[in-house]
């Protein structure tokens, strides 16, 4: 269970999170929606301890991430996998080395076992046999899939996705969505997905939370969100420029 309680964060005078509260259930996919530049990535970085709030708590299985030192943070991060927006593959390493990285760092396995897990993970994302390729040889969609393979290599309990389908064509978007759903189901993962791709949101989310002006203004099942009468949510889902959302 991940809980964010009264989280405040600002950059200079710009207040990004203003007393945000959010609960994320175990074994479900929670999608966080909101405007571009609205603080979704900042929220995700708080969950994994890449950023610390000025005030408030971030609890992961009851442990407050904001009070941990480097060593304790490293321990708890082994529960996590994360797929970055541009995949963030290490471009000095091959695909195989990228996927093997968390295993070599933490798993104390023999080289043969590592190779087998890498091969399994790449097969799971439909990229068997690409171990020797460099990230620069891959397309955007393939890079994201390798990123997902790396994120799940250590069999984490929680996987965070930072805009997994942004910039992809509709077919690849569907392939990534399918992959997220299959992986979530297979490993009973807690997934937190940031997205503003409406089609994906309703396809993969068990729960949806809307971030607006520094706080969560609504959360519920996809049906709840679709049926919401909140003018901000209605405008966001309709993609309309008329309404309470101010366009910067």
Partner 1 sequence: MGRVTKAIDALGRSVLYSVEEMGRIVLLFISVLGWMFRPPLRLRLIFKQMEFVGVRSIFVVVLTGMFTGMVMALQGYHGFRMFSAEGMVGATVALGMTRELGPVLTSLMVTARAGSAMAAEIGTMKVTEQVDALYVMAANPIQYLIVPRVIAGVIMVPFLTIISDFVGIVGGYFVGVGLLNINSGIFMKNITKMVELSDIFNGLVKAACFGLILSLVGCYKGFHATGGAEGVGRATTEAVVLASITILISDYFLTALMF
Question: Contact residues for partner 1 (CB under 8 A)?
Answer: 45, 48-50, 70, 73-75, 77-78, 80-82, 84-86, 88-92, 101-102, 105-106, 150
Name 216's bridge partners: 211
Pure H helices in 93-169: 95-106, 111-124, 140-152
Query: To the nearest whole angstrom, how small is the minimum distance from the Cβ of residue 42 to partner 1?
Result: 12
Nearer to partner 1, 57 or 85 (CB): 85
Question: Cβ 119 to partner 1, closest distance in Å?
Answer: 19
Specify the residue, 70 or 111, whose C-beta has the smaller distance to partner 1: 70
Q: Which are the contacts of 22, defined by CB distance < 8 A and separation ≥ 6?
A: 2, 3, 4, 32, 43, 209, 216, 219
Q: How far apart are CA 35 and CA 40, in angstroms?
A: 8
Least Å distance between CB 81 and partner 1? 8
Query: Cβ 136 to partner 1, closest distance in Å?
Result: 12
Q: Which is nearer to partner 1, 85 or 166 (CB)?
A: 85
* CA distance readout (Å), 78 to 72, 75, 150: 10, 6, 13
Q: Dig out the tokens for 73 from the structure.
A: 């943070």
Between 137 and 223, CB nearer to partner 1: 137
């Amino acid at each position: 269970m991940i809980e964010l309680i009264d989280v405040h964060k600002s950059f200079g005078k710009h207040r990004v999170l203003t007393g945000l509260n959010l609960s994320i259930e175990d074994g479900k996919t929670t999608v966080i929606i909101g405007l571009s530049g609205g603080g979704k990535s900042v929220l995700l970085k708080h969950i994994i301890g890449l950023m610390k709030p000025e005030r408030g708590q971030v609890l992961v299985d009851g442990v407050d991430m904001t009070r941990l030192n480097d060593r304790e943070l490293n321990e708890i991060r082994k529960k996590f996998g994360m797929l970055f927006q541009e995949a963030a593959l290490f471009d000095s390493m091959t695909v195989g080395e990228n996927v093997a990285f968390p295993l070599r760092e933490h798993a104390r396995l023999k080289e043969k076992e590592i190779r087998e897990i890498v091969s399994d993970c790449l097969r799971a994302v439909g990229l068997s046999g690409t171990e020797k390729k460099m990230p620069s040889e891959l397309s955007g969609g393939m890079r994201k899939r390798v990123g997902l393979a790396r994120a799940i290599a250590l069999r984490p309990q929680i996987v965070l996705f930072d805009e997994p389908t942004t910039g992809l064509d509709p077919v690849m978007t569907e392939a990534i969505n399918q992959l997220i759903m299959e992986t979530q189901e297979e490993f009973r993962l807690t997934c937190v997905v940031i997205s503003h791709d409406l089609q994906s949101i309703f396809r993969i989310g068990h729960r949806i939370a809307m971030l607006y002006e520094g706080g969560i203004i609504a959360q519920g099942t996809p049906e709840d969100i679709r049926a919401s009468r909140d003018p901000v949510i209605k405008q966001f889902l309709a993609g309309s420029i008329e309404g309470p959302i101010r366009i910067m």
